């Protein structure tokens, strides 16, 4: 039998197994070719024997052209055509196990049993050497010979984590090879970009996930302490989170429960901490602290440390919950991290007893306005609910409570704190047991939006408070005004505030609105319609209220194009008593001249003293102002009240003088008229009277019908 070279080929590979994928593939292709050639040689020999015996040659054997030329020199260089998928069959190259078998007809194909499938040689997929050890193990466990897919690997996975690993590999690179440098850099870039976009768009959700993970790991105390320390160091106000920070997934907010905020000197905070520990040890209810209701003991009152500068307002606040939404985009824009907030359940004390004033050096409100800095908070919305604080004023003023039942503020900025408070949607509360409200004024025939469209004002608000004690105004004004001369009484006040348009609005629309407002004002001034007028804040009076004449400065402010805030003030003093101050050193000579008539007028009309005035303030006066005093409104209102009372008293004195002069003139005129009538009626008596007076002047005596000096009369 001619030698086919298979023994030589298998012998050369018998002792050296394929060491890599390329050698295994070459060995597989060459082995198949040798086996095919060997079978053809066996069939050819059998046919030749049958022909020699006299049989017919019925079998046509196609002669093979021989092995590739590359095999003669080096079998490893045999070119192998690549099919749709490449596979390698690992066989045993030992020539002793390769016995010669006669070719037989193909048997009928039968389904293989599981034992036969397990005995089948392993089929390795393409790029098998690039697979990781995990996917190599799964690929060797695959029962089929085609390239394994994701579903095949998932069926072979043992648990959830292996399935997750397979899905992640398929999701990222759509293959099961090892990650290279490009894949790793792409995944890292994708993760960083997605996380950055998530933090910028959904900052609240991101921090909610962080806080939820921290709460699950029992790290909430550590995070709360870190946030409180950061806020304390940045603001100078002690902030303590007494409970965990809980995310609200339904409302997309982060909730801070039981927050304690305090601003005290360090020594006073230590004493107050000891006092609270002592009260807690005695079973003292902190909700009924004497600071809330002014039921204090001498031992509980904390003295102010003389070595520290305490000339500022102090406060201690306990907040039930603070729900916030965060925005990193706004923080990068310099508007603060908090986008909106909802505060509920505030209880505390505002202590201003340490604030001192020097009467010899009056304070300028403009110097106490706060400067703006990048990063100051600018909330898009703020909601306050159930706020109650006790206020202690300096100078031995009685403590009082101030509360807010509910407040909806659409924009709340640190730079325009008091201005945004006046621009609130609605505020309902109580000040020293006197209800107050802030809302939009209404009219019967027109809506508020229609009023705003026709005018040059962006918004109108009305503040109303009834029955406030007059001592609050006395404490906030100087001794020069008439408010300080009132010893007792009540005040009902209504403030109609008109806010200017935003400077960012279009110039053309502003000009058209001004023209429309001027035309509407001219038409309505000639024919006032009560339906188009706004509902008054208080009852109408039988007589017009006291009002001061409009000054030239106010007229110039109204005509000026700069943004301004116009406030119409309606004040009604009830049951007032006034007295002249004992020391009048602070009064000017004009006040000294008018103080007694003004006091007399208020005492004479103690039942009701109505005053109406208008205050025009530039918008810049509200920048950096946190209180009404810092804007200068209190001094403006006190001055307007004085002008109205002084004008009314001056007008009353002038009317009285005019009345006196008129009566005197009338008397003199009547006397002259009567004398003229008497002269016309009886002229003889007049001549006799004149002769008598002339004779008296000459020193002679005469009688009627008697000759004087020999001459007849």
d(CA 353, CA 473): 17
Exposure letters 209-221 (e unless 16+ CB within 10 A, then b)? eebeebeeeeebe
Q: Is the pLDDT of residue 597 over 70?
A: yes
Structure tokens at 687: 């001549």
Look at strands 486-500 and 457-469 and give their pairing.
antiparallel
Q: If we measure between CA atoms, which residue out of 439, 564, 455, 432 comes closest to residue 494?
A: 439
pLDDT tens readout for residues 456-465: 677 888 999 9
**Cα–Cα separations (whole angstroms), residue 463 to 271, 296, 470:** 41, 34, 17
d(CA 426, CA 410): 10
Burial of residue 537 (CB within 10 Å: 0-12, 13-18, 19+) is middle
Please tell me the number of Cα atoms within 13 Å of 552 on its side-chain side.
0
What pLDDT is attached to residue 9? Answer: 46
Q: Name the pLDDT band for 202 (thresholds 50, 70, 90).
A: confident
What pLDDT is attached to residue 275? Answer: 46
Q: If we measure between CA atoms, which residue out of 375, 388, 376, 384 comes closest to residue 410?
A: 384
Q: Is the pLDDT of residue 482 over 90?
A: no
DSSP characters over 297-341: -TTTPPPPPTTS---S-EEEEEEEEEEEEE-HHHHHTTS-SEEEE
Is there a contact between 491 and 468 (Cβ–Cβ < 8 Å)?
yes
What pLDDT is attached to residue 24? Answer: 53
**% of residues, the chain, pLDDT over 90:** 14
- Give strand ranges (E) for 395-485: 400-409, 412-413, 426-431, 434-439, 457-469
363 — alpha (psi -120 to 50), left (phi > 0) or beta?
A: beta
Q: Higher pLDDT residue, 127 or 399? A: 399
- Give strand ranges (E) for 501-627: 546-547, 564-578, 608-618
DSSP characters over 265-277: -HHHHHHHHHHHH
d(CA 605, CA 576): 8
d(CA 467, CA 477): 19
Look at 73-87, 116-130, 655-669 and tell me which has the smallest mean pLDDT. Answer: 73-87
Look at 305-309, 411-415, 499-503 and tell me which has the smallest mean pLDDT. Answer: 305-309
Q: What is the mean pLDDT of residues 111-133?
A: 56
Phi/psi of residue 244, nearest 5 degrees: -70, 160
What pLDDT is attached to residue 375? Answer: 81
Q: Name the pLDDT band for 358 (thresholds 50, 70, 90).
A: confident
What pLDDT is attached to residue 249? Answer: 86
Q: What is the mean pLDDT of residues 394-414?
A: 91
Q: Name the pLDDT band for 389 (thresholds 50, 70, 90).
A: very high
d(CA 419, CA 50): 119
Q: Is the pLDDT of residue 15 over 60?
A: no
The DSSP H or E segment spanning 498 is strand 486-500
Look at 81-90, 365-374, 389-398, 497-506 and tell me which has the smallest mean pLDDT. Answer: 81-90
d(CA 24, CA 122): 12
Structure tokens at 113: 């049993």
d(CA 27, CA 98): 15
Look at strands 253-263 and 314-326 and give their pairing.
antiparallel
Q: Name the pLDDT band for 408 (thresholds 50, 70, 90).
A: very high
Q: Name the pLDDT band for 388 (thresholds 50, 70, 90).
A: very high
- SS3 of 372, please? coil
What pLDDT is attached to residue 59? Answer: 42
Most confident of 37-46, 106-115, 352-361, 665-674: 665-674
Is there a contact between 102 and 42 (Cβ–Cβ < 8 Å)?
yes
Most confident of 86-100, 230-244, 289-303, 547-561: 230-244
What pLDDT is attached to residue 45? Answer: 64
Most confident of 442-446, 593-597, 602-606, 622-626: 622-626
pLDDT tens readout for residues 88-106: 444 444 444 444 444 444 4
Q: What is the mean pLDDT of residues 649-665?
A: 82
Helices (H), 605-682: 628-631, 633-681
Q: Is the pLDDT of residue 319 over 60?
A: yes
Q: If we measure between CA atoms, which residue out of 510, 524, 554, 518 comes closest to residue 443?
A: 524
Q: Where are the chain's structural domains?
A: 6-152, 202-299+310-415, 461-672, 682-713
Q: Is the pLDDT of residue 540 over 50?
A: yes
Q: If we measure between CA atoms, which residue out of 334, 362, 422 comes closest to residue 621?
A: 422
Within 8 A by CB and 6+ apart from 175, the residues are 169
pLDDT tens readout for residues 321-351: 999 999 888 888 888 889 999 999 999 999 9
Q: Name the pLDDT band for 53 (thresholds 50, 70, 90).
A: low
The vertex-177 CA angle with 176 and 179, nearest 5°, equals 115
Q: Higher pLDDT residue, 375 or 519? A: 375
Q: What is the mean pLDDT of residues 173-178?
A: 81
Q: Name the pLDDT band for 712 (thresholds 50, 70, 90).
A: very low
d(CA 706, CA 713): 7
> What is the average pLDDT score of the chain?
73
Q: Is the pLDDT of residue 274 over 80?
A: no
Q: What is the mean pLDDT of residues 305-314?
A: 69
Structure tokens at 643: 């002008």
What pLDDT is attached to residue 473? Answer: 82
Phi/psi of residue 589, nearest 5 degrees: -70, -30
Q: What is the mean pLDDT of residues 214-222?
A: 85
Structure tokens at 74: 């080096």
What pLDDT is attached to residue 587? Answer: 66
pLDDT tens readout for residues 551-593: 666 555 555 678 889 898 999 999 988 888 776 666 665 567 7
Q: What is the mean pLDDT of residues 588-613?
A: 80
What pLDDT is attached to residue 519? Answer: 57
pLDDT tens readout for residues 623-647: 989 988 888 888 888 888 888 888 8
- SS3 of 410, please? coil
pLDDT tens readout for residues 663-679: 888 888 888 888 887 77
Put simply, whether the predicted model's pTM sits higher than 0.85 gets the answer no
Is there a contact between 387 and 403 (Cβ–Cβ < 8 Å)?
yes
Look at strands 412-413 and 378-379 and give their pairing.
antiparallel
């Amino acid at each position: 039998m001619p030698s086919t070279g298979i023994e030589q080929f298998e012998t050369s590979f018998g002792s050296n197994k394929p060491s890599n994928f390329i050698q295994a593939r070459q060995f597989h292709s060459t082995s198949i070719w040798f086996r095919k050639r060997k079978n053809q040689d066996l069939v050819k020999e059998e046919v030749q024997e049958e022909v020699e015996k006299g049989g017919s040659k019925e079998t046509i054997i196609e002669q093979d052209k021989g092995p590739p030329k590359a095999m003669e020199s080096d079998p490893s260089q045999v070119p192998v055509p690549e099919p749709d998928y490449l596979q390698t069959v690992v066989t045993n190259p030992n020539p002793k196990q390769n016995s010669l078998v006669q070719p037989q007809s193909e048997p009928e194909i039968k389904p293989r049993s599981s034992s036969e499938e397990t005995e089948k040689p392993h089929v390795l997929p393409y790029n098998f050497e690039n697979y990781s050890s995990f996917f190599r193990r799964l690929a060797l466990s695959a029962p089929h010979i085609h390239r394994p897919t994701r579903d095949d690997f998932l069926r072979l996975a043992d648990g959830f984590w292996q399935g997750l690993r397979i899905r992640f590999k398929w999701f990222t690179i759509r293959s099961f090879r090892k990650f290279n440098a490009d894949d790793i850099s792409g995944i890292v870039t994708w993760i960083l970009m997605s996380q950055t976009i998530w933090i910028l768009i959904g900052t609240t959700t991101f921090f909610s996930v962080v806080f939820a993970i921290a709460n699950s790991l029992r790290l909430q105390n550590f995070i709360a302490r870190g946030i409180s320390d950061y806020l304390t160091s940045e603001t100078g106000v002690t902030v303590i989170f007494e409970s965990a920070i809980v995310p609200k997934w339904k409302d997309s907010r982060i909730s801070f429960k039981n927050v304690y905020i305090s601003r005290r000197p360090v020594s006073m905070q230590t004493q107050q901490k000891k006092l609270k520990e002592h009260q807690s040890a005695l079973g003292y209810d902190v909700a009924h602290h004497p600071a809330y209701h002014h039921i204090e003991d001498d031992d509980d009152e904390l003295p102010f440390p003389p070595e520290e500068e305490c000339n500022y307002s102090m406060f201690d606040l306990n907040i039930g919950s603070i729900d916030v939404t965060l925005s990193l985009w706004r923080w990068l824009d310099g508007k603060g991290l908090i986008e909106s907030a909802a505060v509920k359940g505030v209880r505390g004390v505002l202590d201003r007893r340490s604030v001192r004033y020097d009467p010899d050096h009056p304070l300028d409100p403009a110097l106490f306005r706060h400067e703006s800095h990048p990063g100051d908070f600018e909330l898009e919305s703020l909601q306050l609910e159930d706020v109650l604080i006790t206020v202690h004023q300096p100078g031995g003023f009685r403590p009082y409570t101030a509360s807010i039942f509910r407040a909806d503020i659409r924009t709340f900025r640190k730079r325009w704190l008091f201005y945004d408070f006046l621009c609130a949607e609605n505020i309902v509360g109580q000040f020293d047991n006197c209800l107050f409200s802030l809302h939009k004024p209404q009219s019967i025939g027109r809506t508020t939006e229609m009023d705003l469209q026709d005018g040059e004002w962006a918004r109108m608000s009305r503040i109303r408070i009834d029955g406030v004690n007059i001592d609050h105004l006395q404490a906030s004004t100087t001794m020069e005004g008439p408010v300080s001369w009132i010893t007792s009484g009540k005040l009902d006040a209504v403030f109609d505030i008109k806010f200017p348009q935003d400077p960012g609005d279009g110039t053309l629309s502003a000009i058209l609105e001004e023209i429309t407002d001027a035309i509407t004002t001219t038409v309505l001034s000639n024919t006032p319609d009560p339906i188009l007028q706004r509902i008054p804040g208080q009852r109408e009076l039988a007589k017009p209220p006291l009002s001061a004449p409009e000054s030239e400065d106010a007229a110039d402010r109204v005509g000026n194009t700069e943004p301004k805030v116009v406030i119409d003030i309606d004040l009604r003093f009830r049951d007032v008593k006034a007295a002249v101050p004992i020391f009048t050193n602070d009064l000017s000579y004009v006040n000294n001249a008018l103080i007694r008539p003004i006091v007399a007028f208020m005492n004479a009309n103690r039942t009701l003293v109505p005053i109406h005035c208008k205050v025009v303030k530039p918008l810049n006066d509200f920048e950096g102002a946190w209180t009404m005093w810092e804007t200068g409104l209190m001094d403006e209102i006190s001055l307007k009240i004085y002008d109205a009372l002084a004008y009314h008293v001056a007008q009353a004195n002038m009317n009285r003088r005019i009345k006196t002069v008129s009566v005197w003139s009338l008397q003199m005129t009547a006397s002259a008229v009567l004398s003229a009538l008497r002269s016309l009626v009886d002229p003889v008596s007049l001549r006799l009277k004149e002769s008598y007076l002339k004779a008296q002047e000459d020193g002679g005596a005469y009688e009627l019908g008697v000759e004087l000096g020999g001459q007849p009369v």
